[in-house]
Amino acid sequence: MDEKNNPFHALESDADCPPDLRDDLIAEIDLMRNVLMAADTCIHNIVGVVTTFMSGLSSTDQK
């Protein structure tokens, strides 16, 4: 892409990111990823439990 037609060129900074800021950002991203993984695991287990419970209720209703 041509430099003068690139709309993101004005957003790019010439400055370097301080190492402390970079480490803090990486730590925050890791924390968010870990929280989402834990939430996904819990929600998946809850859905499985509810599904099993509901299928057990429907099988007892048919008897």
The domain in which residue 41 lies consists of 18-61
Domain assignment of residue 9, yes or no: no
The greatest distance separating any two alpha carbons of the chain, rounded to the nearest whole angstrom, comes to 74
Domain assignment of residue 45, yes or no: yes
User: What letter represents residue 40's amino acid?
Assistant: D
Counted domains in the chain = 1
User: Chain-wide mean pLDDT for the chain?
Assistant: 82
Domain assignment of residue 1, yes or no: no
Domain assignment of residue 5, yes or no: no
Domain assignment of residue 6, yes or no: no
Instruction: Give the tokens for residue 29.
Output: 């991203």
Highest mean pLDDT among 9-18, 32-41, 53-62: 32-41
**Which pLDDT value is given to residue 16?**
83
In this prediction the pTM is 0.50
Q: What is the pLDDT of residues 27-54, one digit of tens each?
A: 999 999 999 999 888 888 788 888 888 8
Q: Is the pLDDT of residue 10 over 70?
A: yes
Domain assignment of residue 24, yes or no: yes
